[in-house]
Amino acid sequence: MRISTVAGVIAALARLAVAAPPTVFAPDVISGPGHDSAPAFTPDGATVYFARSSSAVSTIMVSQRRGQTWSAPTVAPFSGEWNDMEPAMSPDGTFLIFVSNRPAQPGGAVLDGHWNGRDWPQNGGNLWRVDRKDGGWGTPVRLPDVINRGTSVFAPAVVRDGSIYFMTADADGHHFHLYRAQRTVDGFDAPVAVSFGDPAASDVDPAVAPDESYTVFASTRAPAAAMDVFVVRRAANGAWDTPVHLGTEVNSPGSDAETRLSPDGKTLYFASDRVTPVTFPRTRAQATRDLARLSWDNGNYNIWQVDLSPWLR
């Protein structure tokens, strides 16, 4: 769909009209007082891995669904020693890719990062893979240098054939861009920049359908207010179409990023620093409700969910 056409504009407006507003995911359990983001679900949707962060450290957590609720998160068995974040589950659930600042080689230095025009000591990232073994998880293995070409490689997404999308900073460290690395018999081909990238903006956090029919990502490109969520579909000829902004019902004035998909691809999960609007004067009862909500509604990232289907019609 090219929204430069009249029909495209009408279709985009129709999506806005039918799209339900986002809701916070598991408040006070998974969406808590810290920065919570990047949920990666097992194929049955019964277990979720996600990142819980502060300004100093990030850890991958795990929670199990019990009926309509989620268990209190615990540290994932492969995380906790290093700065770990952004888990991405393979479509078949047999392995998980995540980001870590752990040394590339045993005994080496913790990774430093460089983006937004500055250095980030001990906050670099490379992609690591951990496999399911005997009902648990094996030992994480760093992906090859063809993917981990620097120390600012983040936001993996795994598709059905094992190929990987990810983001990495450009040479001067001012913008992030999205890449795809084709899986081969013995590794990966050299990553290729996605055709829908914007060289003048930062494109981050790809969430890709297993069949690669569409991608949801975040970007600073117009008409983003800050970091906003977009969707791009693959045309009949196999080429990526023009990205579509998900509108102000999904996007907030602040940061909206870390996009992820439910196992069936119908629900979009994303992180947002939005807060619930408050109007004054308020009643004492409303003040009590507002205070109770501060356990998660405090301006840190929370995980939000929204029906994606209107954008895929």
Phi, psi (degrees; rounded to nearest 5) at 77 = -65, -20
- Kindly state the tokens that stand for 290: 């507002």
Reported as type and span, the H/E element at residue 271 is: strand 267-272
| Predicted pLDDT of residue 123 | 94
DSSP helix/strand/coil, 13 = helix
The confidence score (pLDDT) of residue 135 equals 83
Place of tokens 């609007």: 277
d(CA 179, CA 190): 10
Domains and CATH numbers, the chain: 6-312 (2.120.10.30)
Which pLDDT belongs to residue 103? Answer: 97
Do residues 51 and 33 make contact, with C-beta atoms less than 8 angstroms apart?
Answer: no
Q: How far is CA 280 from CA 9, 34, 284, 295, 299, in A?
A: 37, 27, 11, 21, 19
Which residues, in sequence order, are bridge partners of residue 62?
49, 74
Pair 122, 109: CB distance under 8 Å: no
Residue 122 — φ and ψ, nearest 5°?
65, 15
For the chain, 313 residues long, the average pLDDT of each consecutive 10-residue run is 45 55 96 96 97 94 95 98 98 98 95 91 97 93 96 97 96 89 96 96 97 98 96 94 94 96 97 93 94 93 96 88
CB atoms within 10 A of CB 22: 23
| Cα gap 192→215, rounded to integer Å | 16
